[in-house]
Structure 1
Amino acid sequence: MEPAAASSIRSLLYIMFLLYSSLLIAPTSSQGDESRQANNKHVAIFVFGDSVYDPGNNNYLHVGIDYKANFTPYGESFFEYPTGRFCDGRIVPDFAAMYSNLPLWEPYLQPGSHNFSNGANFASAGAGVLEESEPRTLYSQKQLSYFKEVANLLKQQLGDAEAKKILADALYLSSFGGVDYMSFIDSTPNPTKLQQREYVNMVIGNFTDVIKEIYEMGGRKFAFQNVGPLGCLPEFKQQYNHSGGACVEVLQAITSLHNSLLSNVTVELQSQLSGFQYLIFDFFSSLNDMINYPTKYGFNVSKIACCGIGLYRGSECGRVKEYELCSNPNEYVFFDGGHASERANSILSNFLWNGGSEFTWPLSMKQLYELNSTTAIEILSNDKLLFPM
């Protein structure tokens, strides 16, 4: 009897061992599984940018209809009402929040209480790095000032140590530059290469100042979306009367220059700033590939927007009575003349989160999210790191 009992005990222990081992194995097979892995952490996200990232902050600004999307048919595919997002549904920061187990974004300017331990979205349609690009919107320095207010509020609510830890662990997601180059080309239609380089250097220089200020506030993990292929957007092909379908070369050139310099600057910042970690999401190449090879991504239409008027439906989505609207936005890369459809945003967000050298470098957003801030202890013990009032 004793050998049989011993064998039964060994079998039971072996089964228990297998069950225990299976609990240690993290799921890795699907996008949904990857999202669930993020549920074990809480990381705030602070969002800065222009219309590509705006969840509706401009609803609360005295700006013209060109800078608002709080009317139909915007929002129809997901929210079923217009939220102020320039999309038929969710935008890239919404999907990033979902991957990070955070709620969909409410505009920072929306009245009422906010849980800033989750972060905040300051993005504003029409916002440039430079104030002069569109001073009526929340340009980069204005968004930075609101971020400082949030940091001070976290300090008051949670105490210095907890507030600084949240800021150190947070992700800082941004999309800037497009508005500045649209403004520049409007005022300087045929800029020389020297003029282009001088202007891009000015934009990058001012943006670098914003990054450094966020770093001084305790930020360490930055996700930069580069500028998309402006010259290939339906809005600008229509504006420049490119009936043959060719992209607007001057916009493509200045955008490419910006993206190249942004890559160089981030490498320099990492060498200069202790604990600085970053990724660049190649929005330019990702969206460009969708435009050129739509069927590869399951789209039927990539050169014409779902909503608008004109040759490419490049303008006036929802603003005039006679605008056209497609029957299924999921078949289109662009919802309006300058902004991707929700389905395209979903695909782009997958590229951002999961990465791959052709989409993000040197890290993916998932890797940046999971990266513990190596400077958290330094920040908590650094008496010189103060919250500006």
Structure 2
Amino acid sequence: MISNWKVDYIQKSVFMISIGMEDYYNFTKNNPNAEVSAQQAFVTSVTNRFKSDINLLYSSGASKFVVHLLAPLGCLPIARQEFKTGNNCYEKLNDLAKQHNAKIGPILNEMAETKPDFQFTVFDFYNVILRRTQRNMNYRFSVTNISCCGVGTHYAYGCGLPNVHSKLCEYQRSYLYFDARHNTEKAQEAFAHLIFGADPNVIQPMNVRELMVYPVNEPMREFWEDPMDEKLSLVQY
């Protein structure tokens, strides 16, 4: 039996969730010629699992959720290296990420509408990364297509592994990616500031600061809105 203070602690806690990166990467690697219908079916299976996992957390007492949308997975150094795209992103992976992301907001809206104490917000990680990839110097990243640490054409393998003579860049703060899949400390610090205090162009329907102080058991008054429908302003974030 869970004590009252633990129930209160869990209800007030913020659960941050990111799911799908490895699923879609491995699916694309193992099924390079998958038809559109197979891609759509796989996205549905991943997002259904996401919904099931959220429901499991909710049934265990969690009520506040921060959900990361997927980054443009085809722009990861490991994807560029694995699929040999050079300086270009691998668009098949990006398309899967976009399909996945399009389903997340509606799933969470439905849950908030049917569970009065369910609270959430969605961090648009896809466009946050894409902006830094396409307009890198605006954010003072001189290198966005390869990793700071690793081996291979994009230094996307072996960082930190024994018996692998990994290259380590001289100045990691100029890099967007530290290794094959993970961002540098400088990038993560910027993302943390956005999650905590940015406006709806980046995180909606509220930022984490607002979610943390939102009264427990209080129904949400605002919900996720499709940025394409609402034409949210393209401010630099």
Question: TM (normalized to structure 2)?
Answer: 0.87
Match of 2:145 in 1: 303
The aligned amino acid for 2:196 is: W
Aligned mates of 1:223, 1:195 — CA distance in 2: 29
Does residue 1:175 correspond to 2:46, yes or no? no
- What SS does the corresponding residue of 2:155 show, helix, strand or coil? coil
* Among 172, 196, 215, the residue aligned to 1:353: 196
Give 1:258 shift: 0.3
Does residue 1:330 correspond to 2:173, yes or no? yes
The aligned amino acid for 2:109 is: V
Give 1:183 shift: 2.0
Give 1:329 shift: 0.7
Give 1:186 shift: 2.4
Retained in 1: the 8 A contact 2:158–2:164?
Answer: no
- What SS does the corresponding residue of 1:304 show, helix, strand or coil? strand
Does residue 1:272 correspond to 2:103, yes or no? no
Give 1:318 shift: 2.9
Give 1:321 shift: 4.2
* Among 109, 112, 124, the residue aligned to 1:282: 124
Q: 1:233-274: CA deviations, max 9, x gaps?
A: 11111111112x111111000110000011111111111111
Q: Which runs of 5+ in 1 are unaligned?
A: 1-151, 376-389
Match of 2:133 in 1: 291
Larger RCO (CA within 8 A; separation ≥ 6): 2
Q: Which runs of 5+ in 2 are unaligned?
A: 219-237
Aligned mates of 1:355, 1:323 — CA distance in 2: 36
Give 1:355 shift: 2.1
Q: 1:160-203: CA deviations, max 9, x gaps?
A: 22111111111111111111111211222122221111111111
Aligned mates of 2:71, 2:94 — CA distance in 1: 9
Question: TM (normalized to structure 1)?
Answer: 0.54
- What SS does the corresponding residue of 1:228 show, helix, strand or coil? coil
Match of 2:88 in 1: 246
Aligned mates of 1:176, 1:321 — CA distance in 2: 29
The aligned amino acid for 2:123 is: F
Retained in 1: the 8 A contact 2:143–2:174?
Answer: yes
Aligned mates of 2:215, 2:39 — CA distance in 1: 39
- What SS does the corresponding residue of 1:303 show, helix, strand or coil? strand
- What SS does the corresponding residue of 1:353 show, helix, strand or coil? helix
Q: Give the alignment of 1:68-83 within 5 angstroms.
A: none
Paired residues in the alignment total: 218
- What SS does the corresponding residue of 1:278 show, helix, strand or coil? strand
Q: Root-mean-square deviation (CA), in Å? A: 1.6
- What SS does the corresponding residue of 1:223 show, helix, strand or coil? strand
Aligned mates of 1:306, 1:187 — CA distance in 2: 27
Runs of 4 or more off by more than 4 Å in structure 1? none
Retained in 1: the 8 A contact 2:63–2:119?
Answer: yes
- What SS does the corresponding residue of 2:144 show, helix, strand or coil? coil
